[in-house]
Structure 1
Protein backbone atom coordinates (compact mmCIF):
# COMPACT_ATOMS: atom_id res chain seq x y z
CA UNK A 1 0.00 0.00 0.00
CA UNK A 2 1.38 3.38 -0.95
CA UNK A 3 1.25 5.59 2.15
CA UNK A 4 -0.69 8.53 0.72
CA UNK A 5 -2.10 11.28 2.87
CA UNK A 6 -5.86 10.98 3.25
CA UNK A 7 -7.90 14.17 3.31
CA UNK A 8 -9.04 13.46 6.87
CA UNK A 9 -5.51 13.22 8.30
CA UNK A 10 -4.97 16.99 8.60
CA UNK A 11 -8.35 17.34 10.29
CA UNK A 12 -7.47 14.55 12.71
CA UNK A 13 -4.12 16.12 13.62
CA UNK A 14 -5.70 19.54 14.21
CA UNK A 15 -8.52 17.99 16.22
CA UNK A 16 -6.11 16.21 18.58
CA UNK A 17 -3.67 19.15 18.89
CA UNK A 18 -5.20 20.53 22.16
CA UNK A 19 -4.52 17.22 23.95
CA UNK A 20 -1.28 17.74 25.87
CA UNK A 21 0.71 14.78 27.12
CA UNK A 22 3.35 14.77 29.86
CA UNK A 23 5.24 11.54 30.50
CA UNK A 24 7.89 10.84 33.10
CA UNK A 25 10.11 7.77 33.24
CA UNK A 26 11.08 6.62 36.74
CA UNK A 27 13.85 4.14 37.46
CA UNK A 28 13.64 2.49 40.90
CA UNK A 29 16.70 0.97 42.58
CA UNK A 30 16.06 -1.74 45.19
CA UNK A 31 19.78 -2.41 45.61
CA UNK A 32 19.56 -6.09 44.71
CA UNK A 33 17.30 -8.30 42.64
CA UNK A 34 16.25 -10.20 45.77
CA UNK A 35 14.83 -6.97 47.21
CA UNK A 36 12.44 -6.40 44.30
CA UNK A 37 8.91 -7.27 45.51
CA UNK A 38 7.72 -10.63 44.21
CA UNK A 39 4.31 -9.08 43.59
CA UNK A 40 5.80 -6.23 41.52
CA UNK A 41 3.02 -5.13 39.18
CA UNK A 42 1.50 -1.91 37.88
CA UNK A 43 -1.72 -2.14 39.99
CA UNK A 44 0.39 -2.45 43.15
CA UNK A 45 2.54 0.55 42.16
CA UNK A 46 -0.46 2.64 41.25
CA UNK A 47 -2.05 1.85 44.62
CA UNK A 48 1.08 2.77 46.60
CA UNK A 49 1.44 6.03 44.68
CA UNK A 50 -2.25 6.81 45.16
CA UNK A 51 -2.05 6.24 48.91
CA UNK A 52 0.93 8.58 49.17
CA UNK A 53 -0.79 11.25 47.06
CA UNK A 54 -3.97 10.91 49.15
CA UNK A 55 -1.97 11.83 52.26
CA UNK A 56 0.02 14.64 50.63
CA UNK A 57 -2.86 16.44 48.90
CA UNK A 58 -6.42 15.13 49.01
CA UNK A 59 -7.70 17.75 46.55
CA UNK A 60 -5.15 16.81 43.89
CA UNK A 61 -5.79 13.13 44.61
CA UNK A 62 -9.51 13.52 43.95
CA UNK A 63 -8.85 15.46 40.75
CA UNK A 64 -6.36 13.00 39.29
CA UNK A 65 -7.89 9.70 40.42
CA UNK A 66 -11.53 10.55 39.84
CA UNK A 67 -11.12 12.77 36.80
CA UNK A 68 -13.98 14.56 35.03
CA UNK A 69 -17.09 12.80 33.81
CA UNK A 70 -19.12 12.08 36.92
CA UNK A 71 -19.31 8.88 38.95
CA UNK A 72 -20.82 6.77 36.16
CA UNK A 73 -18.54 7.88 33.33
CA UNK A 74 -15.23 8.92 34.82
CA UNK A 75 -12.20 9.88 32.73
CA UNK A 76 -8.98 9.52 34.76
CA UNK A 77 -6.42 11.81 33.14
CA UNK A 78 -3.41 9.61 33.83
CA UNK A 79 -2.00 6.14 33.36
CA UNK A 80 0.88 4.07 34.75
CA UNK A 81 2.62 1.46 32.61
CA UNK A 82 5.74 -0.66 32.30
CA UNK A 83 8.53 1.28 30.65
CA UNK A 84 8.99 -0.97 27.66
CA UNK A 85 10.43 1.96 25.70
CA UNK A 86 13.23 2.45 28.24
CA UNK A 87 13.90 -1.29 28.26
CA UNK A 88 14.25 -1.17 24.49
CA UNK A 89 16.66 1.76 24.67
CA UNK A 90 18.88 0.26 27.36
CA UNK A 91 18.38 -3.33 26.14
CA UNK A 92 18.68 -4.69 29.67
CA UNK A 93 17.58 -3.35 33.03
CA UNK A 94 20.31 -3.85 35.68
CA UNK A 95 19.55 -6.32 38.50
CA UNK A 96 17.58 -4.75 41.33
CA UNK A 97 16.18 -1.99 39.14
CA UNK A 98 12.75 -1.50 37.58
CA UNK A 99 11.44 1.32 35.40
CA UNK A 100 7.94 2.62 34.72
CA UNK A 101 6.25 5.46 32.89
CA UNK A 102 3.48 7.59 34.27
CA UNK A 103 1.60 9.82 31.88
CA UNK A 104 -0.68 12.80 32.49
CA UNK A 105 -3.22 14.04 29.96
CA UNK A 106 -4.44 17.64 29.79
CA UNK A 107 -2.89 18.41 33.17
CA UNK A 108 -0.89 21.43 34.31
CA UNK A 109 2.88 20.74 34.44
CA UNK A 110 2.79 22.56 37.79
CA UNK A 111 1.24 19.44 39.32
CA UNK A 112 4.29 17.39 38.40
CA UNK A 113 6.09 18.31 41.63
CA UNK A 114 3.37 17.00 43.95
CA UNK A 115 3.05 13.83 41.86
CA UNK A 116 6.80 13.22 42.04
CA UNK A 117 6.82 13.81 45.80
CA UNK A 118 4.12 11.16 46.08
CA UNK A 119 6.35 8.69 44.22
CA UNK A 120 9.25 9.50 46.55
CA UNK A 121 6.99 8.97 49.55
CA UNK A 122 5.79 5.65 48.15
CA UNK A 123 9.42 4.54 47.74
CA UNK A 124 10.16 5.35 51.38
CA UNK A 125 6.99 3.59 52.54
CA UNK A 126 7.90 0.53 50.50
CA UNK A 127 6.19 -1.59 47.86
CA UNK A 128 4.57 -4.97 48.00
CA UNK A 129 3.53 -7.26 50.81
CA UNK A 130 6.83 -6.82 52.67
CA UNK A 131 7.09 -3.06 52.06
CA UNK A 132 10.39 -3.24 50.18
CA UNK A 133 11.89 0.25 50.05
CA UNK A 134 13.82 1.74 47.15
CA UNK A 135 15.09 5.01 45.73
CA UNK A 136 14.48 6.82 42.46
CA UNK A 137 17.84 6.96 40.70
CA UNK A 138 16.84 8.32 37.31
CA UNK A 139 14.02 10.30 35.73
CA UNK A 140 13.23 11.49 32.21
CA UNK A 141 10.40 13.84 31.32
CA UNK A 142 8.71 14.13 27.92
CA UNK A 143 6.08 16.63 26.80
CA UNK A 144 4.30 16.08 23.51
CA UNK A 145 1.02 16.02 21.68
CA UNK A 146 -1.06 12.90 21.50
CA UNK A 147 -0.02 11.86 17.97
CA UNK A 148 3.42 10.31 17.64
CA UNK A 149 4.93 11.05 14.19
CA UNK A 150 7.03 7.90 14.47
CA UNK A 151 3.93 5.87 13.63
CA UNK A 152 3.11 7.71 10.42
CA UNK A 153 5.33 5.49 8.27
CA UNK A 154 3.43 2.21 8.24
CA UNK A 155 2.87 1.59 4.56
CA UNK A 156 4.65 -1.75 4.68
CA UNK A 157 3.01 -4.93 5.99
CA UNK A 158 2.59 -4.75 9.75
CA UNK A 159 0.80 -6.04 12.81
CA UNK A 160 -1.12 -4.17 15.49
CA UNK A 161 -0.19 -6.05 18.65
CA UNK A 162 -1.74 -5.86 22.12
CA UNK A 163 0.69 -7.72 24.43
CA UNK A 164 -1.17 -6.50 27.52
CA UNK A 165 -4.91 -7.15 27.93
CA UNK A 166 -7.27 -5.12 25.75
CA UNK A 167 -10.55 -4.63 27.56
CA UNK A 168 -13.19 -3.35 25.13
CA UNK A 169 -16.62 -3.70 26.68
CA UNK A 170 -19.94 -2.87 25.04
CA UNK A 171 -23.22 -3.29 26.92
CA UNK A 172 -21.46 -5.30 29.60
CA UNK A 173 -19.91 -7.82 27.18
CA UNK A 174 -16.16 -8.21 26.60
CA UNK A 175 -15.15 -8.05 22.93
CA UNK A 176 -12.83 -11.05 22.57
CA UNK A 177 -12.27 -10.70 18.81
CA UNK A 178 -11.94 -6.97 18.08
CA UNK A 179 -11.72 -5.77 14.50
CA UNK A 180 -9.77 -2.75 13.29
CA UNK A 181 -13.09 -0.88 13.15
CA UNK A 182 -13.72 -1.66 16.84
CA UNK A 183 -10.24 -0.52 17.81
CA UNK A 184 -10.36 2.71 15.80
CA UNK A 185 -13.80 3.55 17.17
CA UNK A 186 -12.49 3.08 20.72
CA UNK A 187 -9.52 5.32 19.94
CA UNK A 188 -11.70 8.11 18.55
CA UNK A 189 -14.08 7.96 21.51
CA UNK A 190 -11.21 8.20 24.01
CA UNK A 191 -9.50 11.06 22.17
CA UNK A 192 -12.82 12.92 21.93
CA UNK A 193 -13.18 12.76 25.72
CA UNK A 194 -9.61 13.96 26.23
CA UNK A 195 -10.18 16.84 23.82
CA UNK A 196 -13.34 17.87 25.66
CA UNK A 197 -11.44 17.84 28.96
CA UNK A 198 -8.60 19.87 27.43
CA UNK A 199 -10.96 22.60 26.23
CA UNK A 200 -13.09 22.74 29.39
CA UNK A 201 -12.31 25.60 31.79
CA UNK A 202 -14.14 24.06 34.76
CA UNK A 203 -13.68 20.29 34.80
CA UNK A 204 -15.64 19.88 38.01
CA UNK A 205 -18.76 20.68 35.99
CA UNK A 206 -17.76 18.58 32.98
CA UNK A 207 -20.04 15.60 32.43
CA UNK A 208 -18.95 13.36 29.58
CA UNK A 209 -21.76 11.68 27.65
CA UNK A 210 -21.91 7.91 27.98
CA UNK A 211 -23.20 7.41 24.44
CA UNK A 212 -20.49 6.24 22.02
CA UNK A 213 -19.82 8.63 19.17
CA UNK A 214 -21.59 11.62 20.74
CA UNK A 215 -18.46 13.78 20.70
CA UNK A 216 -17.05 12.60 17.37
CA UNK A 217 -16.52 15.07 14.50
CA UNK A 218 -17.82 14.51 10.98
CA UNK A 219 -14.48 13.32 9.60
CA UNK A 220 -14.56 10.40 12.07
CA UNK A 221 -16.91 8.66 9.64
CA UNK A 222 -14.25 8.88 6.95
CA UNK A 223 -11.65 7.39 9.29
CA UNK A 224 -13.94 4.51 10.24
CA UNK A 225 -14.84 3.92 6.60
CA UNK A 226 -11.14 3.84 5.72
CA UNK A 227 -10.57 1.27 8.48
CA UNK A 228 -13.15 -1.02 6.89
CA UNK A 229 -11.40 -0.95 3.50
CA UNK A 230 -8.00 -2.19 4.68
CA UNK A 231 -7.15 -5.83 3.98
CA UNK A 232 -6.75 -7.53 7.37
CA UNK A 233 -6.51 -11.02 8.76
CA UNK A 234 -8.88 -12.00 11.61
CA UNK A 235 -7.94 -11.29 15.22
CA UNK A 236 -5.47 -13.82 16.56
CA UNK A 237 -5.36 -13.91 20.34
CA UNK A 238 -6.43 -15.38 23.62
CA UNK A 239 -8.11 -14.40 26.86
CA UNK A 240 -5.77 -12.50 29.14
CA UNK A 241 -6.51 -10.74 32.41
CA UNK A 242 -4.90 -8.58 35.06
CA UNK A 243 -5.32 -8.97 38.81
CA UNK A 244 -5.52 -6.09 41.23
CA UNK A 245 -6.46 -5.59 44.84
CA UNK A 246 -9.63 -3.58 45.45
CA UNK A 247 -9.51 -1.54 48.64
CA UNK A 248 -13.24 -0.97 48.50
CA UNK A 249 -14.08 -4.65 48.10
CA UNK A 250 -11.20 -5.79 50.35
CA UNK A 251 -10.36 -8.54 47.88
CA UNK A 252 -8.45 -9.29 44.70
CA UNK A 253 -10.38 -8.84 41.48
CA UNK A 254 -9.56 -9.81 37.90
CA UNK A 255 -9.89 -7.49 34.93
CA UNK A 256 -10.52 -9.79 31.97
CA UNK A 257 -9.39 -8.80 28.51
CA UNK A 258 -7.83 -10.26 25.40
CA UNK A 259 -4.26 -10.14 24.09
CA UNK A 260 -3.34 -10.71 20.48
CA UNK A 261 -2.87 -9.03 17.15
CA UNK A 262 -4.30 -8.04 13.79
CA UNK A 263 -2.19 -8.49 10.67
CA UNK A 264 -2.29 -6.04 7.74
CA UNK A 265 -0.58 -7.47 4.64
CA UNK A 266 -0.70 -4.08 2.87
CA UNK A 267 0.03 -1.92 5.90
CA UNK A 268 -2.09 0.73 7.61
CA UNK A 269 -1.31 3.78 5.50
CA UNK A 270 -2.33 7.08 7.17
CA UNK A 271 -4.39 5.17 9.73
CA UNK A 272 -1.08 4.51 11.49
CA UNK A 273 -1.35 8.04 12.91
CA UNK A 274 -4.55 7.06 14.70
CA UNK A 275 -2.99 3.87 16.08
CA UNK A 276 0.04 5.92 17.11
CA UNK A 277 -2.21 8.11 19.24
CA UNK A 278 -3.61 4.99 20.92
CA UNK A 279 -0.08 3.87 21.77
CA UNK A 280 0.13 7.01 23.90
CA UNK A 281 -3.43 7.14 25.25
CA UNK A 282 -4.25 3.40 25.48
CA UNK A 283 -7.88 2.30 24.95
CA UNK A 284 -10.61 0.35 26.68
CA UNK A 285 -11.11 -0.26 30.38
CA UNK A 286 -8.18 -0.48 32.79
CA UNK A 287 -5.96 2.04 31.00
CA UNK A 288 -4.76 3.45 34.34
CA UNK A 289 -2.98 0.10 34.84
CA UNK A 290 -1.34 0.20 31.42
CA UNK A 291 -3.92 -2.04 29.71
CA UNK A 292 -4.96 -1.54 26.09
CA UNK A 293 -1.75 -0.26 24.51
CA UNK A 294 -1.19 -1.18 20.84
CA UNK A 295 2.23 -1.64 19.26
CA UNK A 296 2.92 -1.47 15.54
CA UNK A 297 5.42 -4.07 14.37
CA UNK A 298 6.74 -4.80 10.87
CA UNK A 299 5.27 -8.08 9.72
CA UNK A 300 8.69 -9.70 9.41
CA UNK A 301 9.30 -8.95 13.12
CA UNK A 302 5.86 -10.07 14.32
Structure 2
Protein backbone atom coordinates (compact mmCIF):
# COMPACT_ATOMS: atom_id res chain seq x y z
CA UNK A 1 0.00 0.00 0.00
CA UNK A 2 2.89 2.36 0.71
CA UNK A 3 6.35 2.71 -0.73
CA UNK A 4 9.23 5.15 -1.08
CA UNK A 5 10.31 7.88 1.31
CA UNK A 6 7.96 8.21 4.27
CA UNK A 7 8.97 10.99 6.64
CA UNK A 8 8.81 10.41 10.39
CA UNK A 9 7.56 13.95 10.89
CA UNK A 10 8.70 16.11 13.80
CA UNK A 11 6.06 17.91 15.86
CA UNK A 12 6.94 21.65 15.89
CA UNK A 13 6.71 23.41 19.23
CA UNK A 14 7.11 26.90 20.57
CA UNK A 15 10.00 27.54 22.98
CA UNK A 16 7.60 27.00 25.89
CA UNK A 17 6.67 23.54 24.58
CA UNK A 18 3.26 24.51 23.20
CA UNK A 19 2.34 22.97 19.86
CA UNK A 20 3.11 25.21 16.87
CA UNK A 21 0.22 24.56 14.50
CA UNK A 22 1.33 27.07 11.86
CA UNK A 23 4.77 25.48 11.60
CA UNK A 24 3.16 22.02 11.38
CA UNK A 25 1.04 23.19 8.45
CA UNK A 26 4.16 24.55 6.73
CA UNK A 27 6.03 21.28 7.24
CA UNK A 28 3.23 19.32 5.61
CA UNK A 29 3.30 21.67 2.62
CA UNK A 30 7.10 21.35 2.49
CA UNK A 31 6.83 17.58 2.16
CA UNK A 32 4.07 17.70 -0.43
CA UNK A 33 6.16 20.07 -2.57
CA UNK A 34 9.30 17.96 -2.29
CA UNK A 35 7.90 14.57 -3.21
CA UNK A 36 7.66 12.81 0.14
CA UNK A 37 5.68 9.63 -0.49
CA UNK A 38 3.88 9.45 2.87
CA UNK A 39 3.84 11.35 6.15
CA UNK A 40 4.08 9.52 9.45
CA UNK A 41 2.55 11.72 12.14
CA UNK A 42 3.09 11.07 15.85
CA UNK A 43 5.83 8.48 15.63
CA UNK A 44 8.95 8.48 17.79
CA UNK A 45 10.33 11.48 15.89
CA UNK A 46 7.03 13.28 16.51
CA UNK A 47 7.60 13.07 20.27
CA UNK A 48 4.58 10.85 20.76
CA UNK A 49 5.84 9.97 24.25
CA UNK A 50 5.60 13.59 25.44
CA UNK A 51 2.14 14.48 24.10
CA UNK A 52 -1.08 13.62 25.88
CA UNK A 53 -3.76 11.62 24.08
CA UNK A 54 -5.81 14.67 23.12
CA UNK A 55 -2.79 16.43 21.60
CA UNK A 56 -1.73 13.20 19.88
CA UNK A 57 -5.09 12.89 18.13
CA UNK A 58 -5.20 16.60 17.28
CA UNK A 59 -1.81 16.46 15.54
CA UNK A 60 -2.96 13.48 13.47
CA UNK A 61 -6.18 15.32 12.58
CA UNK A 62 -4.29 18.45 11.58
CA UNK A 63 -1.79 16.62 9.35
CA UNK A 64 -4.62 14.80 7.59
CA UNK A 65 -6.57 18.02 7.06
CA UNK A 66 -3.61 19.98 5.67
CA UNK A 67 -2.35 17.16 3.46
CA UNK A 68 -5.91 16.92 2.07
CA UNK A 69 -5.35 13.65 0.23
CA UNK A 70 -2.24 14.85 -1.59
CA UNK A 71 0.00 12.43 0.31
CA UNK A 72 -0.95 9.41 2.46
CA UNK A 73 -0.85 9.90 6.23
CA UNK A 74 0.23 7.10 8.54
CA UNK A 75 -0.56 7.73 12.20
CA UNK A 76 1.72 6.57 14.97
CA UNK A 77 -0.61 4.88 17.46
CA UNK A 78 1.57 2.47 19.41
CA UNK A 79 1.68 2.28 23.20
CA UNK A 80 2.87 -0.07 25.92
CA UNK A 81 -0.74 -0.54 26.99
CA UNK A 82 -2.82 -2.54 24.55
CA UNK A 83 -5.98 -0.60 25.39
CA UNK A 84 -4.23 2.72 24.87
CA UNK A 85 -2.93 1.51 21.49
CA UNK A 86 -6.50 0.54 20.55
CA UNK A 87 -7.81 3.94 21.61
CA UNK A 88 -5.16 5.83 19.64
CA UNK A 89 -5.63 3.61 16.58
CA UNK A 90 -9.38 4.16 16.75
CA UNK A 91 -8.75 7.92 16.84
CA UNK A 92 -6.53 7.65 13.76
CA UNK A 93 -9.22 5.77 11.86
CA UNK A 94 -11.89 8.29 12.86
CA UNK A 95 -9.73 11.17 11.64
CA UNK A 96 -9.18 9.50 8.26
CA UNK A 97 -5.62 8.21 8.48
CA UNK A 98 -4.58 5.85 5.69
CA UNK A 99 -2.84 3.49 8.11
CA UNK A 100 -1.48 3.20 11.64
CA UNK A 101 2.10 2.52 12.75
CA UNK A 102 2.39 0.71 16.09
CA UNK A 103 5.67 0.48 17.95
CA UNK A 104 6.31 -2.61 20.05
CA UNK A 105 5.21 -2.08 23.67
CA UNK A 106 8.14 -0.46 25.43
CA UNK A 107 9.49 -0.83 28.97
CA UNK A 108 7.35 -3.81 30.01
CA UNK A 109 9.29 -6.24 27.73
CA UNK A 110 6.55 -8.64 26.58
CA UNK A 111 7.25 -12.15 25.34
CA UNK A 112 6.90 -13.00 21.65
CA UNK A 113 3.48 -14.45 22.44
CA UNK A 114 2.57 -11.23 24.23
CA UNK A 115 3.59 -9.23 21.16
CA UNK A 116 1.51 -11.46 18.92
CA UNK A 117 -1.58 -11.13 21.10
CA UNK A 118 -1.07 -7.37 21.54
CA UNK A 119 -0.98 -6.65 17.81
CA UNK A 120 -3.73 -9.16 17.06
CA UNK A 121 -5.98 -7.43 19.60
CA UNK A 122 -5.42 -4.00 18.03
CA UNK A 123 -5.99 -5.33 14.51
CA UNK A 124 -9.22 -7.02 15.53
CA UNK A 125 -10.47 -3.93 17.38
CA UNK A 126 -9.85 -1.32 14.66
CA UNK A 127 -10.40 -1.89 10.95
CA UNK A 128 -7.53 0.14 9.50
CA UNK A 129 -4.30 -0.99 7.78
CA UNK A 130 -1.64 -1.44 10.45
CA UNK A 131 2.17 -1.48 10.27
CA UNK A 132 4.28 -3.14 12.95
CA UNK A 133 7.29 -1.18 14.23
CA UNK A 134 10.31 -2.97 15.64
CA UNK A 135 12.97 -0.72 17.23
CA UNK A 136 14.60 -2.70 20.07
CA UNK A 137 17.23 -0.02 20.66
CA UNK A 138 14.48 2.18 22.10
CA UNK A 139 11.93 -0.30 23.42
CA UNK A 140 14.11 -3.06 24.96
CA UNK A 141 11.89 -5.46 23.03
CA UNK A 142 12.88 -7.25 19.81
CA UNK A 143 10.07 -8.65 17.67
CA UNK A 144 11.58 -11.66 15.92
CA UNK A 145 11.00 -12.52 12.25
CA UNK A 146 8.96 -15.56 13.29
CA UNK A 147 6.54 -13.34 15.21
CA UNK A 148 6.35 -10.88 12.32
CA UNK A 149 5.54 -13.82 10.04
CA UNK A 150 2.69 -14.92 12.32
CA UNK A 151 1.31 -11.40 12.45
CA UNK A 152 1.47 -11.01 8.65
CA UNK A 153 -1.41 -13.50 8.52
CA UNK A 154 -3.65 -11.27 10.65
CA UNK A 155 -6.11 -9.18 8.60
CA UNK A 156 -5.29 -5.44 8.63
CA UNK A 157 -1.58 -5.99 9.39
CA UNK A 158 0.10 -5.01 6.13
CA UNK A 159 3.78 -4.47 6.90
CA UNK A 160 6.60 -3.82 9.32
CA UNK A 161 9.03 -1.00 9.96
CA UNK A 162 12.25 -2.83 10.80
CA UNK A 163 14.61 -0.45 12.59
CA UNK A 164 17.33 -2.80 13.78
CA UNK A 165 19.68 -1.85 10.93
CA UNK A 166 20.33 -5.58 10.40
CA UNK A 167 20.05 -6.27 6.69
CA UNK A 168 20.19 -10.01 7.32
CA UNK A 169 16.66 -9.86 8.76
CA UNK A 170 15.10 -8.92 5.40
CA UNK A 171 15.20 -12.42 3.91
CA UNK A 172 13.69 -14.30 6.86
CA UNK A 173 10.94 -11.72 7.25
CA UNK A 174 10.14 -12.05 3.54
CA UNK A 175 10.20 -15.84 3.63
CA UNK A 176 8.08 -16.17 6.77
CA UNK A 177 5.48 -13.55 5.82
CA UNK A 178 2.40 -13.64 3.64
CA UNK A 179 2.68 -12.58 -0.01
CA UNK A 180 2.28 -8.83 -0.32
CA UNK A 181 3.48 -8.09 3.22
CA UNK A 182 5.55 -4.90 3.05
CA UNK A 183 8.89 -4.29 4.77
CA UNK A 184 10.15 -0.77 5.44
CA UNK A 185 13.52 0.35 6.71
CA UNK A 186 13.60 2.30 9.94
CA UNK A 187 17.34 2.93 9.83
CA UNK A 188 18.55 5.74 7.55
CA UNK A 189 22.16 4.55 7.47
CA UNK A 190 21.23 1.23 5.86
CA UNK A 191 18.01 2.14 4.06
CA UNK A 192 19.48 2.32 0.55
CA UNK A 193 20.75 -1.26 0.69
CA UNK A 194 17.60 -2.31 2.55
CA UNK A 195 15.45 -1.21 -0.40
CA UNK A 196 17.86 -2.66 -2.98
CA UNK A 197 17.54 -5.99 -1.18
CA UNK A 198 13.77 -6.05 -1.43
CA UNK A 199 12.45 -3.44 1.01
CA UNK A 200 9.49 -1.31 -0.03
CA UNK A 201 10.76 2.02 1.28
CA UNK A 202 11.92 3.81 4.39
CA UNK A 203 10.30 5.61 7.31
CA UNK A 204 12.98 8.23 7.66
CA UNK A 205 14.32 10.84 10.06
CA UNK A 206 16.67 12.28 7.41
CA UNK A 207 13.65 12.96 5.16
CA UNK A 208 12.68 15.78 7.53
CA UNK A 209 15.76 17.70 6.35
CA UNK A 210 16.30 16.38 2.82
CA UNK A 211 12.93 15.11 1.55
CA UNK A 212 13.61 15.47 -2.15
CA UNK A 213 16.91 13.57 -2.03
CA UNK A 214 15.36 10.80 0.06
CA UNK A 215 12.48 10.47 -2.39
CA UNK A 216 14.83 10.35 -5.36
CA UNK A 217 17.06 7.79 -3.66
CA UNK A 218 14.06 5.57 -2.98
CA UNK A 219 12.86 5.82 -6.58
CA UNK A 220 16.27 4.72 -7.84
CA UNK A 221 16.63 1.92 -5.29
CA UNK A 222 13.15 0.54 -5.93
CA UNK A 223 13.99 0.53 -9.66
CA UNK A 224 17.07 -1.56 -8.87
CA UNK A 225 19.50 1.18 -9.93
CA UNK A 226 22.14 0.62 -7.26
CA UNK A 227 24.68 3.03 -8.71
CA UNK A 228 22.24 5.95 -8.86
CA UNK A 229 20.71 5.19 -5.46
CA UNK A 230 24.11 5.11 -3.76
CA UNK A 231 25.20 8.27 -5.58
CA UNK A 232 22.15 10.14 -4.27
CA UNK A 233 22.64 8.70 -0.80
CA UNK A 234 26.36 9.54 -0.53
CA UNK A 235 25.94 13.24 0.43
CA UNK A 236 23.31 12.24 3.01
CA UNK A 237 25.55 9.93 5.03
CA UNK A 238 26.58 12.58 7.56
CA UNK A 239 22.93 13.41 8.17
CA UNK A 240 22.10 9.72 8.60
CA UNK A 241 24.80 9.51 11.26
CA UNK A 242 24.71 12.88 12.97
CA UNK A 243 20.94 13.14 13.36
CA UNK A 244 21.48 10.55 16.09
CA UNK A 245 24.31 12.28 17.98
CA UNK A 246 21.76 12.70 20.74
CA UNK A 247 18.43 10.94 21.19
CA UNK A 248 16.05 11.38 18.27
CA UNK A 249 14.36 13.85 17.69
CA UNK A 250 16.75 16.26 19.45
CA UNK A 251 19.21 16.64 16.52
CA UNK A 252 16.63 16.71 13.72
CA UNK A 253 14.53 19.35 15.47
CA UNK A 254 17.62 21.50 15.90
CA UNK A 255 18.53 20.96 12.22
CA UNK A 256 15.10 22.21 11.16
CA UNK A 257 15.45 25.14 13.54
CA UNK A 258 18.84 25.95 11.97
CA UNK A 259 17.16 25.82 8.54
CA UNK A 260 14.56 28.34 9.71
CA UNK A 261 11.65 25.92 9.46
CA UNK A 262 10.60 25.49 13.10
CA UNK A 263 11.16 27.18 16.45
CA UNK A 264 13.59 25.74 18.99
CA UNK A 265 10.85 24.01 20.96
CA UNK A 266 11.08 20.55 22.49
CA UNK A 267 9.49 18.97 25.55
CA UNK A 268 11.14 17.65 28.68
CA UNK A 269 12.66 15.25 29.34
CA UNK A 270 14.13 16.01 25.90
CA UNK A 271 16.27 19.14 25.68
CA UNK A 272 17.67 21.28 22.84
CA UNK A 273 20.77 19.95 21.10
CA UNK A 274 23.99 20.35 23.07
CA UNK A 275 26.32 23.12 21.86
CA UNK A 276 29.09 20.58 21.27
CA UNK A 277 27.12 18.90 18.45
CA UNK A 278 25.75 21.94 16.63
CA UNK A 279 28.68 22.46 14.25
CA UNK A 280 28.47 18.80 13.21
CA UNK A 281 24.79 19.15 12.33
CA UNK A 282 25.52 22.32 10.34
CA UNK A 283 28.28 20.49 8.47
CA UNK A 284 25.95 17.56 7.75
CA UNK A 285 23.30 19.90 6.32
CA UNK A 286 25.96 21.53 4.16
CA UNK A 287 27.36 18.21 2.96
CA UNK A 288 23.88 17.08 1.95
CA UNK A 289 23.55 20.14 -0.29
CA UNK A 290 19.97 20.44 0.88
CA UNK A 291 18.09 22.33 -1.80
CA UNK A 292 14.41 21.84 -1.17
CA UNK A 293 11.44 23.95 -2.18
CA UNK A 294 10.11 25.65 0.95
Class of the TM-score when normalised by the shorter of the 2 chains: under 0.3
Specify which structure has the higher proportion of helix.
Answer: 2
Q: Could you state the TM-score of these two structures normalised by the residue count of structure 1? A: 0.24
Specify which structure has the higher proportion of strand.
Answer: 1
- Higher RCO structure, 1 or 2 (CA under 8 Å, sep 6+): 1
Q: Could you state the TM-score of these two structures normalised by the residue count of structure 2? A: 0.24
